[in-house]
Each structure stands twice: as C-alpha cells, then as structure tokens.
Amino acid sequence: MEQQDRHGPDWEGVRLHVVSGKGGTGKTTVAAALALALAAEGGRTLLIEVEGRQGIAELFGIAALPYEERKVATVSPAKLGLPGRGPAGELYALAIDTELALLEYLDMFYKLGRAGKALQKVGFVDFATTIAPGVRDVLLTGKACEAARRKGPDGRRAYDAIVMDAPPTGRVTRFLNVNSEVAGLARFGPIHGQAQAVMRVLRSPETAVHLVTLLEEMPVQETVDGIGELREAKLPVGGVLVNMVRPPVLDAAAVAAVDGDHREEVATALGEAGLGGRSKSAATVRAAVEPLIDPLLDQAREHAERVELEREQRTAVQQLKLPTYELPLLGGGVDLGGLYRLAGELKRQGAA
C-alpha cells in the first residue's frame, strides 16, 4: 500500500490541514490554535467549521458566524509570544451551513435561482442530505477544497493555508472518503464530478490529516485506529497533537518511591514545614500533622499512577512514528489569551 503520511516539522507544501480527534480532546481548540499559528506566517489563513456548533465563534468571543468568510484575527509572532517582526497575517473563519451550501451548489450547476428557495421552503434540502449523507459530505469537504484551490484576480492563491475542524475520529475517514460515499448514488454527473475533484485535493501532497488526542487510553487507541483507517483509505496522515498535557508534580525519584512506607518521613517533613504549629513537643507536632499524612500519600499514589499511565500512552503515540506535538493543560479552560498561547506552543514546536 502506498504510504501517504506527511512528515516534516513545517508541513512544507501542505495547504489544507484537516484536524480531527475523539470527542472531548479539544479538537476545535487545537484547530483554531493551528490556524492562528499558520496565520502568524504573515499570509492569509481560513479556519472552517463543518459541524454547525459555532465552536469557532465561541472560542474567539464573537457573534455566530454566517455562511461567509469573515476576518476574526490579525496575527503576528509577537501576539503569540514569539520573536520576529514579520508582517502580520490574517485569520478568516467560515461556518459551513449544509442547507445554504446545497442551494449554492444547485444554483451553480443547475441554475435554479428562485426555485432553490422554493426547495428550501418545502424541506427538500433536509430530505436530500438525510437520505444521501454522502452528498452532504461532498458539499462540506468541497467547500474547503474550493477555498484551497481558489485564486484571486492576480493569479495568487486566495489563502495560504486552510484549516478544517473536521468531525470526530470515528467518522472522519468516511467523511473525507467522499468518492466511495457517493459511488452508489451518482456514477456520473455533477455530484460524481464534484466528488472526484474533492478526492484529488484530499489525496494530494497539499493535504494532511492531523489527529488530536489526550494521554489517556481511549483517545490514544481511537487515534491509533483512526490513523489505520486513514492509511487504508489512502488519505494523507499528518501529525498527532497531544492536548491538555499536565506537568508532573513529582520527579521520577518521588514517583518511584511512592509505593514504600513513608509515613514517618512525611510527618517529619510536615513538621519541619511548620504545619505542626509552634509547639516544640514532638508528640504535639505529630498529632497535628497526623490527619494530613494519609491524604497526602493517597494523592501521591494517584499522581504516580497517572504519570505511569501517561508514560505508557506517550509510548503508544511515539510508536506511530508520526510528528508529535504536545500542548499544555490550561487551568480554568481556554480563553482567547490561552488560545494564542497554544498557537505559540505549536509554532515553537514546528507545527506551523
């Protein structure tokens, strides 16, 4: 089988970045951070949402995005906390509306005009995309591929990079493999031609599919399975973006020692830290710190178990032999400042 994985720290030649991941891994946040990092190159980047959740608008603290490309940020390296004085780039965003995309498609190929509005009123669009979900996927992926190919009057590409916040890992291969999805539905005609054009872009060197995961068993396993499915479908795998990585609280020696009996050492350390009060009596100090010992040891054991689990999952990710990037867990959730921080991390690690 032909290997189509895209290696290299800077994704040279990649124009369309598709970002997927198991639900709960923060794929929309990571997609937005990657788009910001790419925009900081000084060009124009388009961030596309296809699931109708308006997650991009929520991240950037703006009103719901209409079905048109809107500028949402101007990005420079300095905004990402990085050195450099290059020109600022522009980030645009688009939330694709399936209904409007189908009407746009029908008007483009069949010149329906007002008749398209009539179809909208009688619910034809919902009917068509329900009985033929492959058509819906052709429309959604087709819009992203069109943006990747689009050129301005001067002959230059309209966007230097496109980032698509795609469906979760369990559905992403089927979503992207639109050729097979519409094979039994349309063997010729505009829909068939559109699917063929989409697949030419998605399987080209200009595309890379990145997967977001956490250092947890289920997300990592779904990432492994998802990469296998993408490779089987001959879709180009990009990198693995490990999100919400927590810094270790204990060093390796402390983690290794956590299984022993350390009650006396913990009690002594607490007393020396002044938690036993000002009493000079060892018995009084011990009585004061005694209630703290077991909870502290329990937390240390839980932390050691988490560190060991994350070590195992990191090893599983490394065995994929793909470019891997790690993003820190931001306490209190991701606000706009946090989003820029994550973009800076991706930039520093060479993901953009």
Burial class of residue 93 (count of CB atoms within 10 Å of its CB; 0-12, 13-18, 19+):
buried
Average pLDDT over residues 207-215: 97
Q: How far apart are CA 311 and CA 247, in angstroms?
A: 12
3-class secondary-structure state, position 162: strand
Which DSSP state fits 247?
P
**Chain segment 31-75, per-residue pLDDT in tens:** 999 999 999 988 999 999 998 889 999 999 999 998 899 999 999
pTM: 0.82
Query: Over 80: is that where the pLDDT of 292 sits?
Result: no
Predicted confidence band of residue 7 (pLDDT cuts 50, 70, 90): low
3-class secondary-structure state, position 28: helix
The length of the chain is 352
- Selection from 235, 174, 165 nearest residue 206 by Cα: 235
Quote the pLDDT of residue 169: 95
Query: Over 70: is that where the pLDDT of 6 sits?
Result: no
Quote the pLDDT of residue 124: 47
**Chain segment 155-179, per-residue pLDDT in tens:** 899 999 999 999 999 999 999 987 6
Query: Over 80: is that where the pLDDT of 112 sits?
Result: no
Q: How far apart are CA 34 and CA 11, in angstroms?
A: 12
Taken in order 207, 212, 215, 221, the sign of the CA dihedral is negative
